[in-house]
C-alpha cells in the first residue's frame, strides 16, 4: 500500500477543445508548486492528477494552493481487490474514530466495470464490514462526520477520507497577462490574487513618491508582490516615480480634483506601459463606494482616459470580505503595516466624490499631461519579484462566505 495525493480539478474539465492546454498548464504549475520537494512525482490519470512522494502532507499543502485545483485528498492506493480495499477503509475509519468521530458513510465509484461489485454493492458491503470492525460508530448517510471514499480503477483502488478544498478557477497562464495597479493597501493584492485565479499571469505597477514616501513603503509593495508570486512564479514589478507629477498637480489643479486627476494619470501611465509590454488588460482593487474615488461617477471619469479593459475583481465586495480574503491568502499582515502610500500624502480633506468630465478636462488643460505621462514612463524601474518563502499562504478551504 502506498499513500498518494489525488488532485481534482473542476472547471477545466469542461473546456472542450482547450482541455489539453489547461491540463498541461495545471501539470506544469503543480510541478512548479512542488519544486522544493524533488521526490514528488506528478502523473496524470483520467480526469485527475496523482502525486507520489514521501511527505504527503507537504505535497497536499502545496498542491492545494494551485489555481485550477478544486480539491486534494491524501489517499491510500491499494490493489483493486475487495479485501485490500476493506482493510484500508477499516484503518482509515480507525484513525478518524481515535479523533472522536462517531458517524460515517461510504461512497464508492467504480470506473472499472470488471470489478465484481457494483458501486452500491461495494458501499453496502464495506459499510457492514466497517460497522463490525468499529462497533462504536454508526452510519449516517446525511451528515456523516467521516466519509470513506472508494474509487476503483483498472489497476488501482483509492481509499480516502477527507478532501481539502482548493481555490478552484483556472491555472495561471491560460488567460494571458494583466497589469495590476498595486498600492500598499489591502485591496489591490487581493484583486491580483483573484485575477490569477482566473488564469491570468500578473505584472504589477506601483507609483511611489520618494522622498515623500519612504523606502519602507516601497519594500512593503515588493513584499506584497512576492507573496502573490508565491502562487504563480516571478512577477515583474514596475516602479514609477510619481513625485514630480503629484507636485505639479498639487501646484496647478483644484485640490478637490486631486484624487481624480491622480488616478487618471496613473491609468494613462499604466495603459502606455501595458501597451509597451503587450499586456492586454489592467487590474485594480477598486470597490464601489469604498472611498471618494470609487463612486460610479468617479470611476466613469477615471476610466475615460483608457480603452484598455480594466478588471476590478473586488468591485462588489464588502471591505470585511476583502479583509477576510487578504488574511486567507497571506497579504493582510503586510498590507496593514503603517507606511504611507503616495496618494494619502497628497490628498485634500474633501475630495470631489462626483467629479464631472467638464471640470476635469478644464483642470487638465492647464497641465502638460502627455509630458507628465512620458516623465513617469522614463522613470520606470523593473524589479523581478520572486516567490516569498515565509508568508502564510492559503491552506485550502472556502475562500470567503458572502453574508
Ligand atoms: P488599496 O487597498 O488597493 O490601496 P483603496 O481602497 O485604498 O485600495 P484607492 O487608494 O482609492 O483604494 O485605490 C484604488 C486602486 O487604485 C487601488 O486598489 C490600486 O489598484 C490603485 N492604486 C492606488 N494607489 C496606487 C499606487 N500608489 N500605485 C499603484 N496603484 C495604485
Ligand atoms: Mg489605497
List beta partners, residue 74: 5
Reported as a single tens digit per residue, the pLDDT across 296-343 is 999 999 999 999 999 999 999 999 999 999 999 999 999 999 877 766
Would you call 113 helix, strand, or coil by DSSP? coil
Whose Cα sits closest to atom 24 in ligand 1? 183
* pLDDT the model gives residue 162: 86
**Per-residue pLDDT at 401:** 78
Q: How far is the CA of 320 from the centre of ligand 1 (A)?
A: 17
Ligand 1: which of 179, 188, 352 to mutate, most ligand atoms within 8 Å of CB? 188
Position 111 pLDDT exceeds 90: no
Do 187 and 214 belong to one domain? yes
User: End of a domain among 165, 188, 203?
Assistant: 165
Cell of 334: 503586510
Within a domain: residue 195? yes
Q: For 181-239, give the DSSP string.
A: E--SSSHHHHHHHHHHTBTPEEEEEEEE-TTTS-HHHHHHHHHHHHHHHHHHS-EEEEE
Q: Do both 81 and 136 map to the same domain? A: yes
At 251-268, the pLDDT tens digits run 999 999 999 999 999 999
Residue 14: the pLDDT is 59
Q: What is the pLDDT of residue 345?
A: 67
Considering the domain architecture, whether residues 43 and 134 belong to the same structural domain is answered as yes
What is the rounded (10 degree) CA torsion for 362, 365, 371, 377? 20
pLDDT, tens digit, for every residue of 342-376?
A: 666 677 778 888 889 999 999 999 999 999 999 99
Mean pLDDT of the chain, nearest integer: 93
Pocket of ligand 1 (CB under 6 A): 181-183, 185-188, 205-207, 266, 284-286, 290-291, 293-294, 341-343
Q: How many helices (H) and strands (E) does the chain have?
A: 14, 15
The domain total for the chain is: 2
The CA distance from 281 to 136, in Å, is 58
Asked if 268 and 185 sit in the same domain, the reply is yes
Q: What is the CATH number of the domain that holds 198?
A: 3.40.50.620
pLDDT in tens, 181-232: 999 999 999 999 999 999 999 999 999 999 988 999 999 999 999 999 999 9
Confidence of residue 400 (pLDDT cuts 50, 70, 90): confident
Given the CA of residue 285, which atom of ligand 1 is nearest to it? 18
- Pair 225, 235: CB distance under 8 Å: yes
**In a shared domain, residues 136 and 210:** no
Residue 281 belongs to a domain: yes
Q: From the CA of 322, which ligand is nearest?
A: 1
Q: What is the pLDDT of residues 131-180, one digit of tens each?
A: 999 999 999 999 999 999 999 999 999 999 989 999 999 999 999 999 99
66 falls within a domain: yes
Range of the domain at 76: 2-165
Residue 159 resides in a domain: yes
Within a domain: residue 170?
no
- Residue 187 counted as domain residue: yes
Note whether residue 54 is domain-resident. Answer: yes
Task: Kindly give the number of the ligand 1 atom that is closest to the alpha carbon of 240.
Answer: 28
Amino acid at each position: 500500500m502506498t499513500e498518494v495525493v489525488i488532485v481534482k480539478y473542476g472547471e477545466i474539465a469542461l473546456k472542450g477543445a482547450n482541455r489539453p492546454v489547461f491540463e498541461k498548464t495545471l501539470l506544469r504549475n503543480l510541478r512548479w508548486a512542488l519544486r522544493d520537494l524533488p521526490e514528488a512525482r506528478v502523473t496524470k490519470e483520467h480526469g485527475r492528477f496523482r502525486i507520489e512522494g514521501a511527505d504527503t502532507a507537504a505535497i497536499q499543502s502545496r498542491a492545494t494552493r494551485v489555481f485550477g485545483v478544486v480539491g486534494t485528498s491524501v489517499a491510500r492506493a491499494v490493489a483493486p481487490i475487495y479485501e485490500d480495499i476493506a482493510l484500508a477503509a477499516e484503518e482509515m475509519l480507525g484513525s478518524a474514530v481515535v479523533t472522536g468521530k462517531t458517524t460515517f458513510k461510504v461512497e464508492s465509484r467504480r470506473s472499472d466495470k470488471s470489478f465484481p461489485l457494483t458501486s452500491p454493492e461495494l458501499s453496502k458491503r464495506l459499510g457492514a464490514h466497517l460497522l463490525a470492525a468499529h462497533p462504536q460508530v454508526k452510519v449516517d448517510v446525511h451528515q456523516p462526520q467521516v466519509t470513506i471514499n472508494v474509487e476503483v480503477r483498472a489497476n488501482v483502488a483509492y481509499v480516502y477520507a477527507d478532501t481539502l478544498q482548493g481555490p478552484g478557477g483556472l491555472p495561471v497562464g491560460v488567460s494571458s497577462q494583466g497589469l495590476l495597479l498595486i498600492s500598499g493597501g489591502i485591496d489591490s493584492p487581493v484583486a491580483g490574487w483573484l485575477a490569477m485565479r482566473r488564469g491570468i499571469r500578473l505584472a504589477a505597477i506601483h507609483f511611489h513618491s520618494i522622498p515623500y514616501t519612504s523606502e519602507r513603503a516601497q519594500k512593503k509593495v515588493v513584499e506584497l508582490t512576492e507573496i502573490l508570486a508565491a502562487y504563480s512564479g516571478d512577477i515583474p514589478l514596475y516602479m514609477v516615480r510619481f513625485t514630480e507629477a503629484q507636485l505639479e498637480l498639487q501646484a496647478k489643479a483644484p485640490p478637490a480634483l486631486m484624487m481624480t486627476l491622480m488616478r487618471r494619470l496613473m491609468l494613462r501611465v499604466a495603459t502606455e506601459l501595458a501597451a509597451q509590454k503587450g499586456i492586454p488588460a489592467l487590474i485594480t482593487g477598486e470597490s464601489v463606494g469604498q472611498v471618494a474615488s470609487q463612486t460610479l461617477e468617479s470611476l466613469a471619469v477615471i476610466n475615460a482616459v483608457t480603452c484598455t479593459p480594466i478588471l476590478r475583481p473586488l468591485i462588489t465586495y464588502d471591505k470585511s470580505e476583502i479583509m477576510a480574503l487578504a488574511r486567507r491568502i497571506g497579504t493582510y499582515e503586510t498590507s496593514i503595516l503603517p507606511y504611507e502610500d503616495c496618494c494619502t500624502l497628497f490628498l485634500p480633506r474633501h475630495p470631489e466624490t462626483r467629479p464631472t468630465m467638464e471640470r476635469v478636462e478644464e483642470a487638465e488643460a492647464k497641465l502638460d499631461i502627455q509630458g507628465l505621462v512620458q516623465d513617469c514612463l522614463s522613470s520606470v524601474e523593473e524589479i523581478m519579484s520572486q516567490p516569498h518563502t515565509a508568508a502564510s499562504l492559503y491552506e485550502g478551504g472556502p475562500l470567503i462566505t458572502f453574508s
